[in-house]
Structure 1
Amino acid sequence: MSEFDQPVLDDHLHLDAENQGLDAVRDFARAGGTHLLVVNKPSWHLGVEPDTGADFRPVFEETARLVEAAREILDGEAWPVLGVHPGLVSRLVEERGFSPGEARDLMCAGIDAAAAVASEGRAVALKSGRPHYDVSSAVWEASNAVIRHACERAADVGVSLQLHTESTDDLTAVGEWASAAGLAPEAVVKHYASGRLSGCTPSVMCDKEYLQDAVGSGERFLMETDFIDDADRPGAVMGPKTVPRRVRWLLESGHEDAVRRAHVETPAAVYGIDTEATLDG
């Protein structure tokens, strides 16, 4: 049982069997972490250069395999988040000669492949987004089309959607796209968020200032590290022990209600997962 006697969820991290892999899960658990949402690494990090939607499937299956193994380590649960990293659009257009429209179509096909896995009950969310760096208007439009498609597929399958986007505190327009697709805006999560966000649910990076903003907002939020499990960047973006350490800091600061909001109430509202019922007694 976790030292906190309550769930501690990292909403967004990556695992790589060729790097820390399950040792990162053990570090998280030893620090008091209980639950994980494991996001597939960008396809090219696993040596996959797709030409069809089906080419993404090994990336998703590897993530699902690692999640199954992580479940044996944790006092709680782990769930996959599957999809297409938005940075792929630049690799396709700039390195492989795709037009923005062709890149859009391939990335939508990848989302379809992720949705097929999720439809089997093997993921709680899809992943999509748009570049966080400057791109041409055509690439930006193509990326937004992929997000809209991901909203539609998440709604079809009945799962949530995690987004990688530019730095912003306002995704109201994206929330409107989700609503139009039949997906509740609160089921759209901005990964790598700061403390406050309009339009969708923030998954807050575990910077103390960001967390203070999230606590003060009184709104739903999640906590994440975006641990990338890359041997060339050990501990990046934040190490796997960070969420439990920040939970301890929040509890010591008297923010029990906010911790419950981030690790029990928001996961239930956003993903339909019960972190208490899945915590070993």
Structure 2
Amino acid sequence: MILAGDASAMDELDTPVLDNHLHLDPERGRGMDAVRDFVRLGGTHLLVVNKPSWHLGVEPDEPEEFRQVFETTIEVVDEASSLLPGRAWPVLGVHPTLIGRLVDDRGFTPEAAAELMAGGLEVAAEFVAEGQALALKSGRPHYDAEPAIMDASNEVMKRAFELAVDLDCAVQLHTEGAEDLTEIAEWAEARGLDRTRVVKHYARGRLAGPVPSVMSEKDRLQVAADSDEPFLMETDFVDDPDRPGAVLGPKTVPRRVRWLLEEGHEEAVRRAHVETPALAYDIDTEATLGE
């Protein structure tokens, strides 16, 4: 259903509109209805991140068990692409908070958990190497964790950077909220991955180090738009019927693009939806319109 306030949004936006990070669950969530809402408001492109493995009923003991999670995401992305004016790409990896489940609930040592998670990333890397996925996802817990957990998580993240160098792809990161993650960018560069290929999901409007994927709230976007720095826009839509109001809905990015244009931020919109996607992921959101 389109609300009265959305009527003007039916006018086509003269720009690609990319949501850089959201999840889709066609079995339990809104799935393609969420994609249709995104398109109806002017959205054109999506980066769809696999849901945490346990949300799909996978509690892995071996790296190969992550494969089901990744294959499910690729199927969802193929279906979403058929509805978009542009296309969708999968971003595959292991959610960093899995380490807490493995250690606290299942008796893994931090080192054994890190080994399993790094193995899962290596399975995800196979899909990137075959051209079935665009980028990897990794990171570390966003909450306070004991040093052994954080050290193990940092090692998993560094492994993601190593894999990304071999694949020539980007890494999306789930980390704590911060405005300075220069150290992480330096870890990536020490392994040969340019910091422009490191994207911080759920970012504020300003970030030192990785490229920020800014949560599409007006105050954060205003800060990003006023800068001259690369940035992306996202919702982190979780598509979970048990959390209907969690994070932001699929209409948000196109609505915020319209707001930015109304505020005179045409250059920032191009930076977020054309220039930065090309910089971070080597994708062309203009050329892929109408594919």
TM-score relative to the length of structure 1: 0.98
CA distance in 2, matches of 1:138, 1:4: 48
**2:167 & 2:84 partners in 1: Cα distance?**
27
Indicate if the aligned counterparts of 1:190 and 1:202 stay in contact, CA closer than 8 A.
yes
* Aligned equivalent of 1:59: 69
Question: 1:65, 1:171 → 2: CA distance?
Answer: 33
* Residue of structure 2 aligned with 1:15, choices 24, 27, 31: 24
**1:208 aligned partner:** 218
Check conservation: 1:67, 1:78, Cα contact below 8 A.
yes
Of the three residues 22, 27, 43, the one matched with 1:33 is 43
Q: Secondary structure at the match of 2:26?
A: coil
C-alpha displacement of 1:54? 0.6
The reply on whether 1:225 has 2:271 as its aligned counterpart is: no
For 1:125 and 1:235, how far apart are their aligned partners in 2? Answer: 27
Letter in 2 for 1:214: A
CA distance in 2, matches of 1:5, 1:239: 22
Post-superposition shift, 1:218?
A: 1.1
Aligned-pair Cα RMSD in Å: 1.1
Q: Which of 19, 38, 43 is residue 53 of structure 2 equivalent to?
A: 43
Q: Unaligned 5+ residue runs, structure 1?
A: none
* 1:1-281 matched pairs, under 5 angstroms: 3-18=12-27, 19-280=29-290
Report deviation, 1:23: 0.8
> Aligned equivalents of 1:134 and 1:107: distance in 2?
19
**CA–CA separation in structure 1 for the residues paired with 2:199 and 2:246:** 21
Q: Which runs of structure 1 show a deviation greater than 6 angstroms over 4 or more consecutive aligned residues?
A: none
Q: Give the drift of 1:2.
A: 7.5
The answer (yes or no) to whether the contact 1:82–1:126 under 8 Å persists in 2 is yes
Amino acid at match of 2:284: D
Output one character per residue of 1:51-89: Cα deviation in whole Å (capped at 9) or x when no partner.
111100010000000000001100001000000000100
SS at match of 1:219: coil
* Paired residue secondary structure (1:121): coil
Amino acid at match of 2:13: F
Pick closer, same or farther for the CA change 1:2–1:163 going to 2, 3 Å: farther
**TM value normalised by structure 2:** 0.95
- The alpha carbon displacement at 1:5 in A equals 2.0
Q: How many residues are treated as equivalent by the alignment? A: 281
Give deviations 1:233-281, integer Å, cap 9, x for gaps. Answer: 1142100000000000000001000000000000000000000000129
- 1:101 partner amino acid: E
Q: Is the 8 A contact 1:2 1:34 kept in 2?
A: no
The percentage of aligned residue pairs carrying the same residue is 64
Matching residue of 2:7: none
Query: Could you give the per-residue CA deviations for residues 209-249 of structure 1, whole angstroms, max 9, x where no partner exists?
Result: 10011011210000000000000111421000000000000
8 Å CA contact 1:80, 1:123 repeated in 2: yes
